[in-house]
Every structure is written in structure tokens, then in C-alpha cells.
Structure 1
Amino acid sequence: MKKSIKALSLACLCLAGTSCGMKNNADVDTCLRYQYPNILNISVTPEHNMRRVGCFTDAGSWMGFTIPEKDKWINGFCGPFSIDNRVWFAKSAVSVNIDGTEMTPDSISYFPGEIYMTANSENGSIEQRMVFVSANTALLNIKNNTGNKFSITGKGWNKDVTLKNSNNIITANHTNGETVQITLPQDFEVIDNDSNYTATSNSSNTYVAISFYASENELMSGEQKAIALLNNPEHAIKKNNDRWEGYLKKIIRNDMKHEYNRIAAKSVVTLISNWRTHREGLLHDGVIPSHAVNYFIGFWAWDSWRFSAALARFEPELAKNNIRAMFDYQLPDGMIIDCIYTDPKENNARDSKPPLVCWAVDEILEFNNDTAFVKEMYPQLLSYYKWWFNKRDHNKNGMCEFGCTDGTLEAAGWESGMDNAIRFDNCKMLKNADDAWSFDQESVDLNAYLAYECKLLKKFANITGYEFDGPDYSNQVADYFFNEDMGFFCDRKLPDGKFVQEAACEGYTPFWTEIASKEQMEKALVLLTDTAKFSTYIPFPTAAADNPKCSPNGYWRGPIWLDQTYQAIKGLRNYGYSELADKYTMQVFDRCEGLTGTSPIHENYGTHTGKCLQAPHFSWSASHLLMLYEDFGK
């Protein structure tokens, strides 16, 4: 019989020996992580060629696990999976058996920071739970309720993996240089050969460490840590629980309904599951856009600024390192490059990304009073700000353009962050210098961001004692880009200054940065609340819905990107339209597919349907859902 959620949660807690001090069912509600069972559906029994998958990962690890599908059951968590190289080491490196008896799945769950399963046989049940205790190591707890001897073994090892056993440490070496080690207690009797191992124990409650190493140096330093971990697993489990309890306590609001709290918890899980520790060319820890797809396994500039702004609320050290990671590659002229990877040869320095980093630093300052970090970053922040005016202001009028270093429209589109936006359909490139090109178009969002960065840099200068000596055109931006005939903000063409009359999400930005006048907001409300344009089923699409060029699946040409929806809603709130902002926030929470259920948070959503689009487990969307949640009702 399937256990109730309360009973399942209590079983997990008793197994963990956590700091929640659970003694009876009534106490379960005091431990936040267990109030959100099945936070995400990660049930996948993998095939070795399966490269796109969302998984359980934590603490910056480069490995992940899934829960097996019930109709393709393996009595063990699936994996590990190499997130960087997209390789499954095994279908299950540690699966549990009772004398060959078939195990039938019972309860499974993904709680924030923990996965759990139980399976039954004619002799009783086996419970398994897993948490990450470090970036290298996951700790598996096996509780044997059968009274019989049990064994563990690997299932479906990758053909490129070789195994060896030494003193109850199973080492699985992959030809790509990565290594998995399974560290077993000394009371296990291990039989092994070149292709697998079997380890047997009489214990009713035991722990196994599963560790992942990218290099020989990591492996050498990690072996003894894994052995020590098995000597005191309760301490590591308590640290994990305290960390996750701390995350959720900082985020969850008592005045919100459970479904919305669940969205907030899922957003935290999404951001932390995309945390990757420093490795090779990534010199600091940071957050990737999505661990579920291979093309997002790196750090991007404006993605990082958004992630850090959200992380400031509950994981400030990661927020700071996420920013440092991008500035590790700042060029001598001040440019922050587009994206960086473990292999620096893959880095993209053809373009930058929209300047939002001072906003992220300010969020870290406001939530943590971290003036030391502001002082650390200030010279680099100012250098990056000046770079825009030095390299992206073609006619030196103080209004900048998106561009690139190589003169291509492709890279200039990337620099805007809105790769294929309708507003860029007729753009051409203008040369500013040998290493600097601009669109023939001044962009309202870019200059609104720069005005906000300018304001914050002045604030930081007062805090740090540094001098702000950059250009300041902040008070000119709003009037320059406001199209009175349309009643909305638009880009302007060079050299004649004509408006690009394509009402789209870039027009939300001056309201978010609060440089627009009240009169401009009142005029823009006509478009913002028009159900044929921006007040759609999911509000505030990337292009006005009635634009003939708008496409429901057009990436930046129509779908919902939640950062832009957030900026529009926050803009309404900034100008006193809080009830309207709350109404639109509820439309996001209630209508985006799967947000309150078990589906992962996606890269974007269908404007008229709420359907999930593009990459799942997406940090960018999670960041802005947290901010919408935080603002709701205020």
C-alpha cells in the first residue's frame, strides 16, 4: 500500500537523523523541505545515449542521478550522470537486491535537496535516500527492513568504464578522464571482476558514498574524505539538512498559499541544481542556465547577473562567486565576454551581454549588507560600464547600441540577449573600431540598463570611497526613446533617429529601471493592458501579440520570457499599480504549465497557452519567479 505523504516524510526524517528533531507526524510541518514532496518529476531509467535529462544534483556537483521509472524499475537511483560530458556511468551504479527476490516499487519522491525511494518484496521493504554532502560526493542511505542479508551491485555499466576494487572502494574509470568511486563500509563482503561488483551485508541501516572526480588530483584528495564520511554520516546529513532548511526559511512566506510556496521552493531547487563548482576554465563556482541540455553547460553574462540577483536572497556566497566567475575573463578594455566554459577554447568573446551586473551586486548589498564585495568589484564594474560608451556608441551622442567584435549580425543579436528579436530584422552593422561594431540602431533597453547601472555605480562610489568618473546620460534616456505617437518606448535607427515601431518587450525596461515619467506610464498602460497586445493569457510577451511577425514558438519573437514579464509587472508596481501587478502575477503562477505541479521550470512559455517551451530546469525563469513571488501582495 502506498504510504501517505506525512508517513513518507516522517520515515525520511527518522532515517536521516536530521536537526528537525522529528518525533511524531505533527512535527513534520516544522521541517520545510518535507512539505514539498515530488517537487520535480525526474523519473527516468536511462539509456546510455540519453544526453538530455533533468536530474538530482546539488552542492555544485558535476554529477547527477535520476529516479527509475516504475515500469522500468531498477532498485537503485540511476546514474551517476556526467553533467559536463553528458555520459551515464551506469544505469545504476548502486542497486539493491535481496537474494534475487524481485523488488516492487512503492513510494518515490524528490524533496528539495533529497531523493527517496522504497520498494517491497515478500520479505519486507528496502528504503533508500540520497543527499549530496559536497560537490564531489553523494551519500546513499540504505535501510533494510527485511531481516535478510542484502547485496548491492551495478546495473548497465557504460562500455567505456573499467572497474577495480581495493579495500571496499569500487573505482569506475571512464575513458574521458572522469572517475566515479563507490566507497563501502568495511563490513561489506565484496566480490568483483572486470565488469561488475557485488557487495553483501547483514546491516539493517548502512551508508554508501558515491563520489565523482574530474581529475586524478581530485580523486587523491577525495578518497580519504569518503572513508571519513562513512565513519560519521549523521554530521554530513545534518549539514545538508541545515543548508536546505536555511534556503527555504529565507524564501518561503507564511502569508502565501501552499501552491505558490511550492513555486518558490521549486525555483530554489532549480537554481541550486544548476550550481556547478569551479572546474578547469571556470575559476569560481557559478550557475549554468540548465543542467538538462548540453548547450547550456557554461556560464553566460546576463544570465549570471540574473541568477546572482536571486541567489542574493538565500545563497550569497554563490551569488558573489557567480559574478566573479564572469569577471575572471574581463578583457583589458573592460568588456565582459558573452559566455565561458570548462574549456576556455570554447569561450565566446565575439560579444558581451546587456549590462545588469550592478543590479546583481546591489541585490547582494541590500540583502546581506556586504560592502566588502561592493568595494572588491567596483573598479571592474566601472570599467565595464565605460566600455559600453567607448565601444558601442557609434556617433558619440551618449546613446549606445548593441554590437559585437567581429562585425556579424549574429553576434550583435547575441549581445542584445534577444537573438532574433523582430526589432533587429532590418539592422545593418556599423564599424566603430577594428574590434568594435554596432547595430545601426540605438536600443532602449540597453540605455535604460546603463542608466540604472550609472545610478548604482554612484551609490557604490559613496559606499566605497571610489570616484565615479563615467559618462552619465541617464536623464536623457526616457524622453529620447519614448515614441509619443505610439505611446511606448522603441529603439531608434542611425543616422536619422527614426523610431523602430515594433512594440515589444524592450519597452518594459524603462518602467523597471524607473527612469520613465508617470505620464509615460499612463500612456503606455493603453498598450500594456490591451489583450490583443501585451495583456495576454500569460502576460507580457516578447512581442505584441497582434504583430503579424509574432510567432508563438519564435524564441524572442512572441513567447513569454519570464524575465521580461517580471520587468513589466515590477514596472507596474513601481508606478503604483500593485493590484494590477498582483493580477498578472497570479496569471503567471496559475497558468504557466506545471508550475504548481511536478513539471520543471522552462526557458519560456506559450503566450496564449502557457505551454512549456525550450529548455527545462531553467535558472533564468526560476530567478524571476522568485522575485515575482517575493513582490506579490506588496
Structure 2
Amino acid sequence: MKNNIIRLLLLSGVIAGFSACVNGSQKELAQERTRYEFGNILDIEITPDSTTRRVGCFTDAGSWMGFTIPQQDKWVNGFCGPFSIDHRIWFAQSAVVAGLIGETSEMTPDSTSYFPGEVYMSSVSADAKIDQRMNFIDSSTALLQVETNSEKGLCFTGKQWSGSVKLEVERNVLTARHQDGEIITLTFDSDITLSCDGKNYIAQTQPGCKKTDVAISFFVSEKELPAYEQRVQSLLHNPSQELQANADRWNGYLQKILRTDMKPEYDRIAVKSIVTLISNWRTHREGLLHEGVIPSHAVGYFVGFWAWDSWRFSAALAGFAPELAKNNIRAMFDYQLPDGMIIDCIYTNSAENNARDSKPPLVCWAVDEIFTHTQDTAFVKEMYPQLLAYYKWWYTKRDHNQNGICEFGSTDGTLEAAAWESGMDNAIRFDNTQMLKNAEDAWSMDQESVDLNAYLAYECKLLKKFAALIGVKFDGPDYSDKVADYFFDEKIGWFCDRRLKDGSFIEEPGCEGYTPFWVQIADKKQMEKALVLLTDTAKFSTYIPFPTAAADNPKCDSNGYWRGPIWLDQTYQAIRGLRNYGYNDLADQYTEQVFERCQGLKEDAPIHENYGTHDGKRLQAPHFSWSSSHLLMMYEDYGK
């Protein structure tokens, strides 16, 4: 059913491509990619009820609202929603249900699809058809276009409004105010007849009208409405320019990322990754002072910005949405503390921010990726003092014995927050860790971590690069030349954490050992020794390669969060590490295992937080930005 419309839209996309490129070369035309090549990119079919809270949806342009496609067996003749992504509420099961004036027979599903940046649905009755498509115009408004082949005229109503919503009508605008302060408006064409009894509304076109548009807008507060009203009315008067901008933006994303030498199914993985990142884009709101990307819009506890998540997202976004990548970094630095610390995570309600810990330092990598793609030295200059202050903070607050080798820690002395700071909350290497006090607001684990110090060595290298770019002197500590040898355990041939009390190695080989190869501080001999474990099918060369703990460790748990499952950032770092040392064929082989074996990756399943090591099963949070970012990086590197 879904594929019927895909063929039609793909053909229309090809025709549009020809007309848009009349003056272009045949080579340029052949390379143009459009979103209509990628139908049903993600399965977001759900007809919600009042209990539905964990849901992946169609959202774009930084909006805080989303929509789903109704299930075929629970059909509603309208896109479901809006859903408030921050407050996790449905304003209605469907705020705009389409029908025909005087039609008594029910409209049944014909076809649906989710294209990058657009959702589509069609329905039929005995003698008529209704097509509906939706695009986000900006962070506030989605435009619904409705078209029929019937002469009867179109009519609309809502279905199952929330009991916490109050409805009222003025002219051609229905306003739905939720008791939590959020508001949606439905703005219809000016010649439509609109009435409301306080519980629901009815809107009707003139008989014979075959096409009309509805603007669905979302606002955080009442004060936003007056300034936006004129813009929405203008949009309905002439939507073509805004719709073209939407198409250009999405096709531009694809043009910047997609390669001409990849399998179609690998292109699909790359596009799904882009869609996931953009669907997790949120505009500035309340305590979030810049726009940015959340880990997952589908899971309530992930609706905020996290530090090292943000660095990863920005590194991936740099190639196709660099301004979003920059603001994603600025959002975290808005809350930099006077001592230089970047706190763990921030939310719309800043009272919920977590300043008990930081996160692994990867931000210079993200800034460098942005610079690589944009050559924007102004951004480097803007960020440099803050980057340097954060880098120095580690050596001031997280080096217990002042030997130039840092530890993960916390501001409150708790091991819980220190484990969060590592980003690997329950990793096996922390099983016997204790906390040591450095200062009133600074505590360290009693072990020095290889990944932390490898990241700091990389940050140091990049800070020196940035200093040279903007003509200043780097004046931070530099211990980068001692990290690799300090953490390499010759006995087992792996990079391991070390205990502060006696310098002994914590011989629990895990994904932290990939990091020195990714940042290229290991020497060739260390890679050759580590390759024994890396390629051992009982340890790290598993069905999905490079788990978070050696698979033969008795403590390894295939569903143990950071105690065994696959996290794709770590898998990426191991694969990129192999490339860094000349093992490109092996790196490609492992990339293929990821692309081919992670459950649902080539199909329409959402990208997940982590995957089963031995079966590729999808585990925690769906629609996950972190995994999507690193899939894009693997796609970019593959075959090179």
C-alpha cells in the first residue's frame, strides 16, 4: 500500500529535477538526489491514546511538536497529534481529521509514507480520494496540504481532544490552550467556514473546493501569538516559497552527505541517520538559550542537551548543518561555570540541570570538524577562550596527585555522578572504584582513566591548532606525549585504567582501550599487540564488532548497558582506529558487519541507543542521535 505513492512521487521528483535543471549539465542532473528516493524511511505509525508517551514522530526545523502516521488497523483520517515533545502530551489524537462535506461512507487508508522532511497519507471512499501531506515551515508551524478529487468540498474536525485543552475560535483560527501553558493554533484559509462549541470544531470549504491548506502552529506561551499571526496568514496566501525552501533544505542535506559509490541500502542508512538527527533538533526555549539536538525525542528523559552527546552530534552535523552544529555547542557553553567546568546536562527548566559532573572532553574535536567543513575562523576565535578554560579545568579539578594524568570525578563526592562523568555509567572497570577528595567541590575516582587522558591529549593537539589559527599562544598543560605508554599494559596487550594507590592496571579490557587508536597517540607496536584482542571473536571481533566489554569477560552482560552491548560511538572509534593505522580492509569489513547486522538498520526501524553484541538486537532508546552521528561517520569513511 505504501509503495504505490512512492512510485508516483519518485516520478514527480524526477520530473521536477529535470525542470529545475534545464540549464545544468547532464552530469549534474544525474547526481541530484531528492527525498522522494527514500520513502518509508522510518516507521512512525501509531494511533495514540491518552497513555502513549514514548513515541517516535515526525518533527522538523527545531519544533517542539510532532505528529505520527495513524496505524492502518486504527485508522484516523488525519496525522495524529500534535504531540508536545517537552511535556509529553497529546493535544488531540488528531487535531485535523479530513473528510468530505455530506459524505456518509468512511474514508479508509490507501497509502502512507514518511519521506525525509515530509509525511504523506491518502485515503479513499467508494467514489473519492483525499491526499494529505505535511511539511514543517519553521520551528513553530507545520503546513498541512489537503487535496481531493471530489466536488463535494472538504471538511475538518478534531478527534479526542485532551481534557486539559480549551478550544476557542476567532475568524479562521482555532486556538487550543493547554493548562500547562502550551498552545496550538489551527489557521484555515480565509474563505473557510469555522465553528466551535468549546469541545470540538467543524471547518468546511465551499462546495467544489478540491484543495486547501491548514497551518498548525505551536507556541510555548501566549506572548508569542500576536507576532506570528500575520506570518501564518501570509503563508496560507502563498505557501510555495516556503515549501520550496523546505525541499531545498532537505535535498541539500542529502546532496552534502550522499556518495555516488555506495550501495542503495547504505545510502538509506545515511539518510535515516540525517532524519534522526534533524528530528531531534530543538529550537531555543526557556532554559535552553540556543538551539541544539537532544538524544531522542521518543523518550522523555532524553529531552535536554548533554555535553559529550552534543559534541558528537555537532561533529556529525558539521558536514550538512554547520550552523546547527555551532549552536549545539554554544548551548552547552551557555552554562559554563566560572572555573571552566561544562556541566553534564541542561533542560528547558534549568532547575533540572545536572552540575554534579561533567562529561568526557570531546568538544575541540567537534569544533575542528566544523572548521574543517566551513573554514570559519571566527567561530574558532569565539570558542577558544571557553574551550581552553574547560581543558584547564580537568587538570585543576580532576588530577588528584597532580601528576598530569586525570581522573573522572564529581562535584559532590558521589561515585554515581563520577560514573556519569565518564559517560559509561556502570562500566566493569568501575566495579571497585572509591572516591578521593581534591577540594570542596572536586572529587576524583581512585583510578586514572585511559579514555579521559586520550581525549585530553587530542583536545591539547587541537587547541594548539586553534591557537595558531587565531594568532594566540597556547598556555595550557600538555602531557599528551606520556599518555599512551603510561596506560598500555604490555602483559595483556591492551590500554587499561590504572589504580592511584599503586599504579597497577585494572585488567578488565573494554572499549576505553579503543580510544588511543582513534586519537592516534598509540604507536604501531601497540596497535599490533592490541590487534590480537581486537580480532579475537571471543573478545572484541563479535557478531556486531567492538562491544563495550570483552565478550568473554564473566561480568559481560549482553543487555548490560555499558557492560557488554554495542554502543556505536565506541565501535566507530575502534573502526576508525584501524583505519588510522592502515587496516582499511579490516575496517571496511567491520563497517559492513554493522550496516548488515544491526537489526532493522537497512529497513524502517528506528536507530537505537545500543545493540546486542551477539545478535544485533535493538536495545535501549529508539530514534537515537548518538548512534546516528557515528553511522554517518562510518558511512563517510567506508571504502576510503
- TM-score bracket for the superposition, by shorter chain length: over 0.9
Match for 1:467: what amino acid? K
Separation of aligned partners in 1, 2:33 and 2:151: 30
Match for 1:108: what amino acid? T
Q: Percent identity?
A: 68
Match for 2:333: what amino acid? F
CA shift for structure 1 position 28: 11
Q: Deviations over 1:169-193 (max 9, x none)?
A: 0000000000000000012111211
Q: Which residue of 1 aligns with 2:273?
A: 267
Separation of aligned partners in 2, 1:19 and 1:56: 29
Match of 2:320 among 314, 322, 333: 314
CA shift for structure 1 position 40: 0.1
CA shift for structure 1 position 221: 1.7
Structure 1 stretch displaced more, 390-399 or 187-196: 187-196
CA shift for structure 1 position 4: 3.0
Separation of aligned partners in 1, 2:21 and 2:82: 31
The yes-or-no answer on 1:123 pairing with 2:99 is no
Q: Which residue of 1 aligns with 2:592?
A: 586
The yes-or-no answer on 1:210 pairing with 2:198 is no
Q: Deviations over 1:149-171 (max 9, x none)?
A: 22011011000001001011000
Match of 1:611 among 599, 604, 617: 617
The yes-or-no answer on 1:8 pairing with 2:12 is no
Query: Secondary structure at the residue paired with 1:602?
Result: coil
Q: Which residue of 2 aligns with 1:360?
A: 366
Contact preservation (8 Å) 1:10, 1:22: no
Match of 2:305 among 289, 294, 299: 299
Contact preservation (8 Å) 1:312, 1:364: yes
Query: Secondary structure at the residue paired with 1:480?
Result: helix
CA shift for structure 1 position 7: 3.4
Contact preservation (8 Å) 1:19, 1:241: no
Contact preservation (8 Å) 2:13, 2:34: no
Q: Deviations over 1:178-234 (max 9, x none)?
A: 000000001211121100111111421211100000011222222211111101111
Query: Secondary structure at the residue paired with 1:235?
Result: helix
Structure 1 stretch displaced more, 118-127 or 452-461: 118-127
Q: Which residue of 1 aligns with 2:81?
A: 79
Match of 1:402 among 390, 401, 408: 408
Separation of aligned partners in 2, 1:401 and 1:444: 9
CA shift for structure 1 position 101: 2.5
Contact preservation (8 Å) 2:2, 2:112: no
Q: Which residue of 2 aligns with 1:327?
A: 333
TM-score by length of 1: 0.97
Query: Secondary structure at the residue paired with 1:91?
Result: strand
Query: Secondary structure at the residue paired with 1:7?
Result: helix
**Matched ranges for 1:340-355 at <5 A:** 340-355=346-361
Structure 2 vs 1, CA of residues 282 and 2 (structure 1 numbering), >3 Å: closer, same or farther?
Answer: closer
Contact preservation (8 Å) 2:92, 2:160: yes
Match for 1:47: what amino acid? D
Separation of aligned partners in 1, 2:468 and 2:30: 47
Query: Secondary structure at the residue paired with 1:173?
Result: strand
Contact preservation (8 Å) 2:608, 2:624: yes
Q: Deviations over 1:330-351 (max 9, x none)?
A: 0000000000000110000000
The yes-or-no answer on 1:424 pairing with 2:426 is no
RMSD: 1.7
Q: Which residue of 2 aligns with 1:280?
A: 286
Q: Deviations over 1:589-629 (max 9, x none)?
A: 00000010000000000000000010000000000000000
Match of 2:162 among 158, 161, 164: 158
Q: Deviations over 1:540-591 (max 9, x none)?
A: 0000000000000000000000000000000000000000000000000000
Contact preservation (8 Å) 2:32, 2:255: no
Separation of aligned partners in 1, 2:448 and 2:428: 15
Separation of aligned partners in 1, 2:503 and 2:78: 63
Query: Secondary structure at the residue paired with 2:259?
Result: coil
Match for 1:509: what amino acid? T
Q: Which residue of 2 aligns with 1:620?
A: 626
Query: Secondary structure at the residue paired with 1:266?
Result: helix
Structure 2 vs 1, CA of residues 20 and 508 (structure 1 numbering), >3 Å: closer, same or farther?
Answer: farther
Structure 2 vs 1, CA of residues 294 and 119 (structure 1 numbering), >3 Å: closer, same or farther?
Answer: same
Contact preservation (8 Å) 1:545, 1:558: yes
Structure 2 vs 1, CA of residues 374 and 19 (structure 1 numbering), >3 Å: closer, same or farther?
Answer: farther
The yes-or-no answer on 1:472 pairing with 2:474 is no
Q: Which residue of 2 aligns with 1:199?
A: 203
Contact preservation (8 Å) 1:13, 1:22: no
Q: Deviations over 1:124-146 (max 9, x none)?
A: 21000000000000000001112
Q: Deviations over 1:387-415 (max 9, x none)?
A: 00000000000000000000000000000
Match of 1:182 among 180, 186, 204: 186
Query: Secondary structure at the residue paired with 1:85?
Result: coil
Structure 1 stretch displaced more, 217-226 or 586-595: 217-226
Q: Deviations over 1:94-136 (max 9, x none)?
A: 0111223211101100000000001111122100000000000
CA shift for structure 1 position 8: 3.3
Match of 2:113 among 92, 109, 114: 109
Structure 1 stretch displaced more, 429-438 or 187-196: 187-196
Separation of aligned partners in 1, 2:12 and 2:191: 24
Q: Which residue of 2 aligns with 1:244?
A: 250
Contact preservation (8 Å) 2:5, 2:112: no
Separation of aligned partners in 2, 1:174 and 1:244: 32
The yes-or-no answer on 1:167 pairing with 2:136 is no
Contact preservation (8 Å) 2:83, 2:90: yes
Match for 2:224: what amino acid? E
Q: Which residue of 2 aligns with 1:458?
A: 464
Separation of aligned partners in 2, 1:19 and 1:160: 49
**Matched ranges for 1:507-522 at <5 A:** 507-522=513-528
Contact preservation (8 Å) 1:20, 1:31: no
Structure 2 vs 1, CA of residues 402 and 509 (structure 1 numbering), >3 Å: closer, same or farther?
Answer: same
Q: Which residue of 2 aligns with 1:631?
A: 637
Separation of aligned partners in 1, 2:244 and 2:528: 53
Query: Secondary structure at the residue paired with 1:420?
Result: coil
Q: Which residue of 1 aligns with 2:35?
A: 33
CA shift for structure 1 position 5: 5.0
Match for 2:565: what amino acid? P
Q: Which residue of 2 aligns with 1:446?
A: 452
CA shift for structure 1 position 466: 2.0
Structure 2 gaps, min length 5: none
Q: Which residue of 2 aligns with 1:42?
A: 44
Separation of aligned partners in 2, 1:308 and 1:191: 46
Separation of aligned partners in 2, 1:19 and 1:274: 32
Structure 1 gaps, min length 5: none
Structure 1 stretch displaced more, 97-106 or 115-124: 97-106
Separation of aligned partners in 1, 2:604 and 2:632: 17
Structure 2 vs 1, CA of residues 517 and 583 (structure 1 numbering), >3 Å: closer, same or farther?
Answer: same
Separation of aligned partners in 1, 2:619 and 2:31: 34
Contact preservation (8 Å) 1:403, 1:438: yes
Separation of aligned partners in 2, 1:515 and 1:363: 19
Match for 1:232: what amino acid? N
Contact preservation (8 Å) 2:295, 2:624: yes
**Matched ranges for 1:494-573 at <5 A:** 494-573=500-579
TM-score by length of 2: 0.97
Q: Deviations over 1:262-291 (max 9, x none)?
A: 000000000000000000000000000000
